[in-house]
Structure 1
Amino acid sequence: MGQQKINMTSSSFRLRCRSLNSLRLRRIFDMFDKNGDSMITVEEISQALTMLGLEAEFKELESMIKSYIKDGNEGLTYEDFVGLHESLGNTYFGVEEDEMETLDTDLWEAFKVFDENGDGYISAKELQVVLGKLGLVEGNLIDNVQRMIVSVDTNRDGRVDFCEFKDMMRTTIVPASS
């Protein structure tokens, strides 16, 4: 299996949805933090990237990362890591106004009802459980539920994230006319 060169301008590097961005960034940070000391070193990042099949020059990584490491620390804290990510996002992608807005609280609360395990995704099984609790016949067959998921799963990962849920709600809920 060949290695890929890291493309820092990849649109998939930045996530569209801020709450999921935070959750995923935390997971990435924890994945890099091999020794569990709540700090990631350049070595840990380099090792993780290598394990992912991504090629990165150590000196290049070190140069990019060291300005984000606070004096006296051996690596990045989670907050430093978020700062690095935001800087890369602003440098390579710019910041769109709508991405900076806070999430609609009502939609987020509705999403959490379906996301029973709190992992940031609605799976077919979770949707089936909620539909069952609501007494809706649509939830009786997993095939029906999977079709519901597929109909809104724009990135085709088999689950519905908050952004997909929000898009679905915006297209299916028509505001009342005055």
Structure 2
Amino acid sequence: METQTGHVLKSIHSRNSFHLRSPSLNSLRLRRVFDLFDTNHDCIITIPELSNALTLLGLDTDASDLDFIIKSYVKPGNSGLTYEDFVMLHRSINEMLEGVEDEEDKDEADLSEAFKVFDENGDGFISASELQKVLGKLGFIEEANEMGRVKMMISSVDLNDDGRVDFSEFKDMMRHLQ
């Protein structure tokens, strides 16, 4: 089973569709991710919830791949992942993907993938309207409904004052947060 799981994870990784690894993803951040994915707030992430969350983030993943991976982490009697299961899944994915790329390449790839989630039109910039859409998709309705707040978020990291965030500015912001 371990070999098949490794094959599935590498297949998903090669399609750039399933990254939960990041050295800076500490337990607080991981808990936030869990809470975002747990849309009905029952402290369990089901396959449909996980699939929906990944799709909303633009990370299309085959449901059968997800089901195969997740089943081995779900405790008997549960309908999905508890937070503890989610942490174990995260650790396992990190371990399996170790050595795929060197550390700097992993950080750059993670940042690039995160940037692409926000850069919906693929023009190399995150505009206020793109940020607003992604915030809405992630459930930050209050923030998404106030364009003034969204523009303030953009301007806080927009170093060249062009009204949008490029990849370099995004990397600076993310590294500063780490």
TM-score normalised over the length of structure 2: 0.48
Which has the larger share of helix?
A: 2
Which of the two has higher C-alpha Rg?
1
TM-score (norm 1): 0.48
